[in-house]
A and B are shown apart, each in its own frame.
Chain A
Amino acid sequence: MEPEPENVDLSVLDPRRDGARWDRMVENVAARAIEQRRLRLRAVRRGAIAAVMAIAAALAVWFGAPKRDPVTHRSGDLLEWAVRDVEPSEVLGLGGNDGR
């Protein structure tokens, strides 16, 4: 293989040629990165706290809600009618006057 050609002088493209400007650029990037990261971590922390509080509130509502009685809240008369032998006239009586 042919020998590798020598380096091409690309120094005119080097942003570090202006040392003071380069230092400012480095400091600026580092400072912005630190600040953005701080804000991001804070947002994540707040999001986590909000999520924990929302879960706690949901659990409190769930366990604090009054327990429902199964079926017995329905009309006792109807239930009775369903399980016993009831005369049709008695059923009509269930609806009061409108039943007729």
Chain B
Amino acid sequence: MPAAPPVAELVARARRGESSAFDQLVRRHLRAAFAVALAVLGRPADAEDVAQEAFVAALERLDDCREPARFSGWLLQIVRNRALHALAKRKLRDPSDHVIELGREPVVGDVVLRAHLLVALAKLSPVQREVVLLHDLDGWTHAEIAEALELSEVNCRQHLFTARRALRAELAHEEVHHGTGT
């Protein structure tokens, strides 16, 4: 299998209007955009909407990306800003704004695990959520996360360590109190 082209090359090709480059950029980065939006918004459906809208907006003004090699960080900043804006609007509409409420509806299997995970993620700091989602959901390396989020690699490792430990503790606690739901 040929090696994937570097992101800077894809950006250059997309700027020239090559539709396959757009497709590859989206395929490669949409899940990371979703991860960052989820870290801010806490609700997968909202995160999907914001990630898609932000991605379209970013690609529309691709010429503004001054360092194509750092496309990921540039894109994630746009996603984060849009997600924060969406969160502010959501809080205006619904000041109580719960990420998810357990025990309201009968939930089973993956759905309960998903709900527990969202509750556990909501208890982390925003940067911890971004780090753990990018690393454990989208498979980013520490170096990639550090560059995109403008952290040091050591800092990134610390965030991941703390986030994972907190998530495990929270999930264990939820299991004891709510059961698995299966």
Contact = CB atoms under 8 A, between A and B. Distances in A.
Contacts of B38: 13
Contacts, number: 86
Contacts of B84: none
- The SS class assigned to the A binding surface is helix
Contacts of B27: 26
Interface string A1-28: 0101111111111111000000001111
B105 interface: no
Contact of A36 (B44, B60, B114, B160): B60
Contact of A8 (B48, B59, B168): B168
B98 interface: no
Contact of B31 (A5, A6, A12, A14): A14
A37 B23 contact: no
B60 A10 contact: no
10 contacts: A4-B164, A5-B161, A7-B136, A10-B132, A11-B137, A15-B31, A15-B34, A28-B52, A29-B59, A36-B56
